[in-house]
Amino acid sequence: MLVVNLVYLGVQLTKSLAPGEAAVSLRAPAQSAGGDPLVLLSERSQPTREGARRPESGSLCAVVGPWESRDAAHAGAVQLKAAGLPGRVRALTIQKDRLNWVYLPPYADRERALRVLHELQDHGVDSFVVKDGEDANAISLGYFSSAESAEGLRVKMRNAGYPAFVRETSRAVTEYWVYLADQKPEEKPELNIFLQANQSLKLDWVACS
C-alpha cells in the first residue's frame, strides 16, 4: 500500500512540473487595442490612376473633335460608338486667326481712298484699299498678332496726321464635334486608344446647350 501511494505521488508531481501547452490561433485578432485592423499587403487597396481633369461645372458636356466636315465627324461617331462611347454630331462656329487690324476708316468714294493710298505708298507705307464689304474704301495698314505692335503703328500714323484705328478681327470656321453621352469618358481606356489613333482630335468640355 505504501508503494502504491509513492507511485501515485510521483505521477502527480511530474504533471505539475510539466510546462503547459500554449493555445495557437491561426486567426489574428480583428483589432488591437487602440490600433488599426491588421490587413495583408495583398489585400490593401491600390491607388487608382487619375484620368483627365474635367471642369467642376455640371452644365458642361464632354466632346471629341474637331472634324472639318460633317461626314468625317459622323464616321468618327460610328467608331466611338463601336468603342462603347455613343454620341451625336453637332456643328460649332469657332472664331480663329484672331488678329489686330490697323486701318483708316472708309472714305466717301473710291477715288478719295485711292488718292490717300498713293500718298501713303509714296511715303513707304505698305497699304491697300478694301474693295468690298462693310469696310469698302477703307485703307488697310496691316494685320498684327501683337496688340502692342498694332497700337504702335496706330500712334505713328496718328502722329503723321492719319486717323488710324485698331480693330480685332477673326475668321469664322465651322467645326464638327461629337457630344458624348458618357458622363465620364476620360476614365475609359477605349477613348485614349481612339485619340492616340487620331492625333488631330481631342477631348474637351463645352456648354451642353
The grid coordinates of residue 99 equal: 488678329
Could you tell me the fold of the domain covering 60-93+174-207?
A: Alpha-Beta Plaits (3.30.70)
Binning pLDDT at 50, 70 and 90, where does residue 184 land? confident
3-state secondary structure at position 146: coil
Mean pLDDT, residues 144-167? 96
In degrees and rounded to multiples of 5, residue 50 shows phi and psi of: -80, 140
SS (H, E, C) the chain: CHHHHHHHHHHHHHHHHCCCCCCCCCCCCCCCCCCCCCCCHHHCCCCCCCCCCCCCCCCEEEEEEEECCHHHHHHHHHHHHHCCCCEEEEEEEEEEEEEEEEEECCCCCHHHHHHHHHHHHHCCCCCEECCCCCCCCCEEEEEECCHHHHHHHHHHHHHCCCCCEEEEEEEEEEEEEEEECCCCHHHCHHHHHHHHHCCCCEEEEEECC
Task: Name every residue whose Cβ is closer than 8 Å to that of residue 194 and which is 6 or more positions away in sequence.
Answer: 64, 79, 80, 83, 85, 201
CATH number for the domain whose boundaries are 96-172? 3.30.70.1070
The pLDDT value recorded for residue 43 is 32
Q: Tell whether the model's pLDDT for residue 147 goes beyond 50.
A: yes
Q: In the prediction, which pLDDT does 180 show?
A: 95
What pLDDT does 18 receive?
42
The CA R_g of the chain, rounded to the nearest whole Å, is 41
User: Locate cell 471642369: which residue?
Assistant: 55
Two domains, one topology: 60-93+174-207 and 96-172: yes
User: Helices 70-82 and 189-197, interaxial angle, to 10°?
Assistant: 140
Q: Say if residue 113's pLDDT is above 60.
A: yes
Q: How high is the mean pLDDT of the chain?
A: 79
Residue 73 has pLDDT above 50, yes or no: yes
pLDDT at 182: 86
Identify the three-state secondary structure at position 3: helix
Domain ranges within the chain, ordered by starting residue: 60-93+174-207, 96-172
Give me the mean pLDDT over the 62-89 stretch: 96
For residue 100, pLDDT beyond 60 = yes
